[in-house]
Amino acid sequence: MTIKSEPFVVNIGPQHPSTHGVFRLRLTLDGEKIIDADMVMGYLHRSMEKLAEERTYTQNIPFTDRTDYLAAMTGNLAYVMAVEKLMRVEVPERALWLRTIMAELQRIASHAMAVGIFANDCGAWQTPVMHMFRDREKILDLFEMACGARLTLNYMRIGGVSKDIPPEWMPQARKLLKDLPKRFEEYEDLLLNNEIIIARSRGIGTLTPEQATSYSVSGPMLRASGVAWDVRKADPYGAYDKVDFDIAVGRHGDVYDRFVVRVAEMRQSLRILEQALDMIPEGPVHARLGTATVQPWGQPVAPLAYRPPVGEAYARIESPRGELGYYIVSDGSPAPFRFHIRSPSFINLSPLKLMSVGMTVADAIVILGSVDIVVGEVDR
Amino acid sequence: MFLLKGEWYDLRDLGNTVGGLLDDLRDIGAPDWTIYVTSSLIGAVGILLWTVLSCLAFIWIERRVVALMQNRKGPNRVGPAGLLQPVADALKLLLKEAVTPRSADRVIFWAGPVLIFIPALVVFAVIPFAPKMTLADLNVGVLFLIAIAGINTPAVFLAGWASNNKYSMLGAMRTIAMLISYEIVQVLALLGPVLFVSSMRMGDVVAWQDHFNTWIFFIQPVGLLAFIIAGAVETNRSPMDISEAESEIVAGYHTEYGGIKFGFFYQAEYLAGFAIAASIVTLYMGGYTLWGLEDYVPAWLIFLGKLYTVFFVYIWTRGTLPRLRIDQLMAFAWKFLLPLMLINALVVGAEVLIWRENDIDATPALLAIGAVNLVFGAILVAGWARFLGHGTGKQRGQRAILTQEVGAVHFTPEPAP
Amino acid sequence: MDDAGTIIAFYVLAGMTIGSALGVVVVRNLIHAVIALIGTFAGLAGLFVTLSADFIAITQILIYIGAISILFLFAIVLTPQSGRNNQETFLRFPALALSGLVLAVLVYVAVDTKWNVTEQDGFAETAGTIGELLLDKYVLPFEIASVLLLVAVLGSIVLVRPEPAEED
Amino acid sequence: MRTKVLTGLDIAHKIEQKLAGAVEEALPEFAMIKADRLIETLMYLRDDEELNFKFLSSLTGVDRLEWFEVAYHLESFKLNQSTCVKVRTFDRETPLVPSVVTVWQGAHLQEREAYDLMGIYFDGHPDLRRLFLWDGFEGFPLRKDYLGMPGGLMPGLERFPGEPGVELSGRGTE
């Protein structure tokens, strides 16, 4: 005979210190053990997909900032790539390199947050987060120099980027690149070898490669499960085919490996950046778009708007959180007919129940932290 | 200096001052009970004042120090260098509306903070701040420390239960499980000093350490370690702060408390921290003595200095360490610390017996005991950890595999524990 | 020992003990009853202090308030659907009769016994004396109690142990 | 190395070889599968050695005004290839397509999303509930005919604010 306590339901969220936004997790508990987990989302649902159907292609770029607000660059990039695919635009070389550089800087900033917040979820009282913030601030400074914004960047444009980087950008970026490896070493020392973090995250929330693939998991979570899949390598966009880097892959697919993969990816991003800063060519940063696609619309005023041909395009990139895809259907009008975001945060949540049933409340928090969701992107 | 001995203006021991006052009272022919009441009132008010001031100071220190560890400034706006921030916070808490949730059990909800605050304060009665500065030097002082800290347990439970909040309930349950487990460890750890001193009076423990010019810390390193860990549990300090784990159960058993009721919990937590630090200082680190320096410097200053140093260690861990999980914490208490402390108590008993029976000189005996305990403790800790599967290299961090091969799978199932 | 302070303390503590003991019986809410029980324990500890049995008093606090009451609380909270309220039962009158009987016996014994009054002071150090008595004169009951506790521990472990999985 | 994109024509050809009659229409961008043969076709796409589409990248619904379609973007890690297949239903009241949760677990949340916003019912889905919107929400906001604005405007049914719709059916397809 076993003694069981009465199962009871705990709502983690929508207002809770570690749901990373307004996300709600309904846990049914037997004591501290989770017997059922249900996700409730939509508290940040802004209906972007509907809104985008009434805005021109350029007007939609700011929306993509506001999905994954911790990685606005990659959001921009995926969207403009989808539109470029639809319009068959050839992007100038320098713009491709700039996109690559920005995306990698954004990856470092985003992973730094992920790693720091993960340590916070493990119970380290703010210290790792604050250290990560220090590096992220420096990167945001670079973004500010390039485009004037720090968080919602709106930097990418259909056919290139909004403007070239100022001359003093390069020296500052190089200085940052020189500083970062030392810091990363420190973090790896303090966090990766931390006995308590290892005890808290080893063997928790394990996903096998088969499970991860079947549950459509992508990004660091998929790679932590041992699948070497990185869109940057598998289907290089931007200038990724010209730089040398490795895919970081985990061993056991648990929470700890997701953490390790993110740390390793920050290193790889540094590697890419070091090469990219040397290899970036001079030239225009915006494609010249023919009048065939740029036509006046509406009455009585007639501003110019892109009119992609009828058809559909699906472009996906490797955002810090995983495979970020934009599916755009055009009917020849200046606004997308259908605008769908395949958001990695949202889809990476699908195995949450699988991972957390049988664990304790504390584990559920760590697992949720390891998924690294941004609620803006989950709910869109 | 020695002219001062025992006069009322001898500030090296505030007990002298109070003693002088009581003598005056006696001289003017006051009845015995007035003297009794006056002395306890002075002691109680003194302790209350000291704890409140120390709390305020340490709230500031903790916030500044942790801020330093986290690359930020900490409170720096109210008063010079933000010194008045804790005062402002306290005022804010006092002025806030004391909300009672509708579904809470009103009486117990109100009783919770009080029940927690009183024992946290009462503990200081047996702490010897200086030779004559003990409010009540009970001859079961060591037991008193643990017994009074034990009152916390039902108080925390009642606070959590009365809130009628699931986070509170979880927090309360965690706290109880934790406190009860670590209370046993604490008692067993305290057997060490008590067996050496063969008295449970706190004053005697300090006197013993003074007499042999040693700190019990040197002859009981493992015991002190266990006591520090148990103390961290009792005061909800990181890495054992799971009962109010912010990232998991919001604020644990005091989630529903606001205003000054929360203030009570907050201060009780600090008081518990001071009490643990005071016990460590008294029982393991020589109390108010510092190898003769206490004759010149006020003894209570030495005591407070040591106390704050020990308390600082708790702040330090709070700024650096992540948190353990409840089952890991319980396993650590029952599987690791408890057997270790049982063996430790056995070893100490044997040592004391051999020492007493054979009339060995104090110095060689203490040196031998210290060496034996250190080596034995180290072997025991390492060996036991290895036996439980820790520290065998398996726990080391692993780095990611780097590959260029797209689509390959590098998965090895986690070996079963 | 017969100074005014002790006598006042005795009556206050006795009132507190009996009052909260009554509370345990009368109060409907089980958790409130446990709180009243804690009050009883505390009063009892105070009574021990007036008898200068400080070791027993502290142990009373440590064991009864710190542990036994928690046991009660756990038992109440963790029992599924235990309900938090006492219900009226028909056992009320038998219980009343039984407790009346117990009271009568106690009063009779208390009145009938010839209490030894000594002029000797209380023990300076009760802990040592109790320890020696426990390991000397009363070693058999002490050991039997230990065995009983051990059996209880083993029993509870057997009770909560999860059954080995039937499959595989 | 680039991901090999199997066009709708390629994939339709492959499917026809194995499961004759399962493809309804094949365009360069996608292959339209018949709804009643969807599950076996997707099972084939997933399990075939040469196709190996183990990963459902994206599942989403599109309101083409005359019909609803569900687009499946598939990927294969092992062979580094991708494709897109679709299924459609002409029922506007209760559009019903088979659920593919049995093929890819990842479809669970995405089908809930498509149901919530687009109002496509997935037959055989274990837990088809509202996801972002609350239970009891009226209508499905991503449908083109969802709500009108004051003054009889139906923004979803126009090509673009200020641009009148020319023809409505099957827009966005060539």
pLDDT of residue A94: 87
Q: Does residue A323 carry a pLDDT above 50?
A: yes
Q: Which of A2, A5, A6 sits opposite C163 (nearest CB)?
A: A2
Query: How confident is residue A358, by pLDDT bands cut at 50, 70 and 90?
Result: confident
Domains and CATH numbers, chain D: 4-157 (3.30.460.80)
Neighbours of C25 (CB within 10 A): 12
Return d(Cα B244, Cα B254) in angstroms, integer. 8
Q: Which of A53, A234, A334 sits opposite D3 (nearest CB)?
A: A234
Task: Specify if A362 maps to a domain.
Answer: yes
Domain ranges for chain B, please list them.
2-30, 96-387
Among B140, B180, B182, the strongest candidate for a mutation testing the C interface, having the largest count of C CBs within 10 A, is B140
Structure tokens at C132: 């020696």
Task: Specify if A142 maps to a domain.
Answer: yes
List chain B residues with CB under 8 Å of D1.
406
From first to last of the 174 residues of chain D, give the pLDDT tens digit: 787 888 878 888 888 888 877 788 888 888 888 888 888 888 888 888 888 888 888 888 888 878 888 888 888 888 888 888 888 888 888 888 888 888 888 888 888 888 888 888 888 888 888 888 888 888 788 887 777 666 666 666 666 666 655 555 555 555
Candidates B8, B9, B17; CA nearest to B42 is B17
Among B200, B330, B338, the strongest candidate for a mutation testing the C interface, having the largest count of C CBs within 10 A, is B200
Q: Which of D29, D55, D62 sits opposite A216 (nearest CB)?
A: D55
C-alpha to C-alpha distances, D73 to A281, A329, D42, D58, D77, nearest whole angstrom: 35, 14, 11, 5, 13
Do A3 and C159 count as a contact with CB atoms less than 8 A apart?
A: yes
SS3 C140: helix
Q: Which residue of A has its CA nearest to D46?
A: A214
Do C59 and B158 count as a contact with CB atoms less than 8 A apart?
A: no
pLDDT of residue B1: 45
Please check whether residue D78 touches B, CB under 8 A. yes
- Burial class, A139, CB count within 10 angstroms (exposed 0-12 / middle 13-18 / buried 19+): buried
Q: Does residue A1 carry a pLDDT above 50?
A: no
Instruction: Report how many domains make up chain A.
Output: 1
Please check whether residue B33 touches C, CB under 8 A. yes
Please check whether residue B2 touches C, CB under 8 A. no
Angstroms from A227 CA to nearest CA on chain B: 4
Residue scoring higher pLDDT (A368 or C119): A368
ipTM over 0.85: no
Please check whether residue B114 touches C, CB under 8 A. no
| Subunits in contact with chain A (3 or more CB pairs closer than 8 Å) | B, C, D
Touching pair D, B by Cβ (3+ pairs < 8 Å):
yes
Please check whether residue D54 touches A, CB under 8 A. yes
**Side chain identity, residue A241:** D
Q: Which of B108, B139, B150 sits opposite C61 (nearest CB)?
A: B150
Q: Does residue A293 carry a pLDDT above 80?
A: no
Residue D24 near residue D30, CB atoms below 8 Å: no
Task: Specify if A254 maps to a domain.
Answer: yes
Please check whether residue A8 touches D, CB under 8 A. no
Return d(Cα C78, Cα C72) in angstroms, integer. 10
Would you say how long chain D is, in residues? Answer: 174
Q: Does residue A286 carry a pLDDT above 70?
A: yes
From first to last of the 168 residues of chain C, give the pLDDT tens digit: 457 777 888 888 889 898 998 888 887 777 788 888 888 988 888 888 887 777 888 888 888 887 888 888 877 776 655 555 556 667 778 888 998 999 999 999 988 888 777 766 655 667 777 888 888 888 899 899 999 999 998 988 887 776 665 544
CATH classification at residue A181: 1.10.645.10
Among B115, B118, B151, B168, the strongest candidate for a mutation testing the C interface, having the largest count of C CBs within 10 A, is B151
The angle, 0 to 180 degrees and rounded to 10, between the axes of the packed helices B32-69 and B106-122 is 100
Ramachandran category for residue A216: left, alpha or beta (phi over 0 → left; psi -120 to 50 → alpha): left
Task: Specify if A195 maps to a domain.
Answer: yes
Task: Specify if A33 maps to a domain.
Answer: no
List chain A residues with CB under 8 Å of C81.
6
Q: Which of A47, A215, A316 sits opposite D105 (nearest CB)?
A: A215
Please check whether residue D155 touches A, CB under 8 A. yes
Q: Which residue of D has its CA nearest to A297?
A: D163
Task: Specify if A208 maps to a domain.
Answer: yes
| Subunits in contact with chain C (3 or more CB pairs closer than 8 Å) | A, B
pLDDT of residue A300: 45
Do A6 and C80 count as a contact with CB atoms less than 8 A apart?
A: yes
Q: Does residue B417 carry a pLDDT above 80?
A: no
pLDDT, average across residues A309-325: 87
Do D79 and B407 count as a contact with CB atoms less than 8 A apart?
A: yes
Return d(Cα D104, Cα D116) in angstroms, integer. 19
pLDDT, average across residues A25-47: 84
Please check whether residue A126 touches D, CB under 8 A. no
Which residues on neighbouring strands pair with residue D97, listed in sequence order? D122
Q: Which residue of C has its CA nearest to B152?
A: C66
pLDDT of residue A27: 86
pLDDT of residue C147: 93
List chain A residues with CB under 8 Å of C80.
4-6
What is the largest distance, in Å, between two alpha-carbon atoms of chain C? 74
Which residues on neighbouring strands pair with residue D61, listed in sequence order? D70
Q: Which domain holds residue A358?
A: 44-379
Candidates A343, A342, A340; CA nearest to A312 is A340
Q: What is the pLDDT of residues B156-202, one digit of tens each?
A: 888 888 888 888 888 888 888 888 888 888 888 888 888 888 888 88
List chain A residues with CB under 8 Å of B319.
125, 127
Among A9, A195, A207, the strongest candidate for a mutation testing the B interface, having the largest count of B CBs within 10 A, is A195
Task: Specify if A261 maps to a domain.
Answer: yes
Task: Specify if A4 maps to a domain.
Answer: no
Do A123 and B239 count as a contact with CB atoms less than 8 A apart?
A: yes
List chain B residues with CB under 8 Å of D80.
406-407
Do B400 and A249 count as a contact with CB atoms less than 8 A apart?
A: yes
Return d(Cα C144, Cα B166) in angstroms, integer. 42
Q: Does residue B381 carry a pLDDT above 60?
A: yes
The interface residues of chain D toward chain A in range 9-48, judged by CB-CB distance below 8 A, are 29-30
Q: Where are the beta strands (DSSP E) in A100-243?
A: 156-157, 160-161
pLDDT of residue C168: 47
Structure tokens at A165: 């980087």
Q: Give the ranges where B288-361 is alpha helix by DSSP (H).
A: 299-320, 326-331, 338-358
| Subunits in contact with chain B (3 or more CB pairs closer than 8 Å) | A, C, D
